[in-house]
Amino acid sequence: DGARIGQGSSKIRRSGTTCTELLSESEYPEEQVASTSVEAIPTKPRDDDTHYFDSYSYNEIHAVMIQDSVRTSSYATFILSNPQIFKDAVVMDVGCGTGILSMFAARAGARKVFAIEASGVGVKAEQNFKDNGYEDIITLIRGKVENISLPDGYTHVDVIISEWMGYSLLYESMLDSVLFARDKFLRAGGLMAPSQCRIMANLVEVQALSRKMSPFGIMFTRFNMSSMAKKSTMMHSSKWSRQMQFFTNDELIKDIPIPTRNIQNLDFSSPFVLTATRPGKAHALLLYFDTWFTTDGADVPSDAEPTIAKGEGDVITTDILQIKARPS
């Protein structure tokens, strides 16, 4: 029998606050710190919407997402392998970014695609549509999906696609906007892609991660930095390591069926128990998520295993995103 490692509850909050900001608030309560610093001039509260959309105006973050071969190939495989869904369909892409999903839909035969984007990268997406010959099929709509109307007499769409998943699935809180789009724009019987996501947990041992998250005892040898080391392990990391060794069986934290989930139910607590399958030293709690695309939007069985789409060999996006060099 495995030894029971721990029991607790995971509260997933829909917040625009970063993990480091949350840690700063919880680690050092104001009443416990005797300040010796000069009082700073109060700053205006941050406009989270502006901060969020500005962060998506640069190429780097979109390059990371497109180059995630599992992620991009999963969308491409579903869209391009199901012409019965996308042929002559009206499609909405919520948070289109560079427009890659919109172009997949157009390539699959969509009659019309509405690409919604509130950040500055929308200008580049619109140019991508023109450069690839889709400007008559794909219409870019600048703004938040909560504030837009569809042009040209359209009121509803047949399919909503979106690459909304963040770290641990719900980081960035974009699912709210996707569900809003579903309730306002998706016709009865329309399809959401992806259709279902599950947040999973496991305890892992990974020495490299442990060293990365506890650097102070190694780097600073001439001064006492123990006050930093005390809380330095309470950090998040979004890196995956092939050196990870699992301690427990995968535990379901939350199952989210996208076609039926209510926006009001996105704040939740989920009690869970992780039971060790071997002895050892756990360095981290691993949170990850599985994503499903179904052709009918139906829930997948509880024991369903995800299939990984691999973009090996001929990269599926090479004939869509053309790269041109300037003459030397």
Query: DSSP assignment, residue 194?
Result: S
**122 with 96: CB under 8 angstroms?**
yes
Element spanning 269, H or E: strand 268-275
Q: What angle do CA 197, 306, 3 make, to 5 degrees?
A: 85
Q: What values do phi and psi take at 61, rounded to 5?
A: -65, -35
163 is catalytic: yes
- Which tokens hold the place of 3? 């030894």
**Which one is catalytic: 172, 205, 251, 305?**
172
**Which one is catalytic: 27, 135, 146, 163?**
163
Residue 194, preceding bond cis, omega within 30 degrees? yes
Which residue matches tokens 């109307």?
A: 149
The Cα 260–Cα 272 span in angstroms is 24
CA distances from 290 to 20, 44, 172 (A): 25, 39, 17
Provide the β-strand partners of residue 273: 7
CA distances from 42 to 45, 47, 52, 130, 304 (A): 9, 15, 22, 46, 52
CA distances from 17 to 30, 59, 106, 166, 171 (A): 19, 22, 35, 13, 9
Element spanning 80, H or E: helix 69-80
Per DSSP (E only), the strands in 194-240 are 196-205
Provide the β-strand partners of residue 140: 115
172 is catalytic: yes
Active centre residues (catalytic)? 163, 172
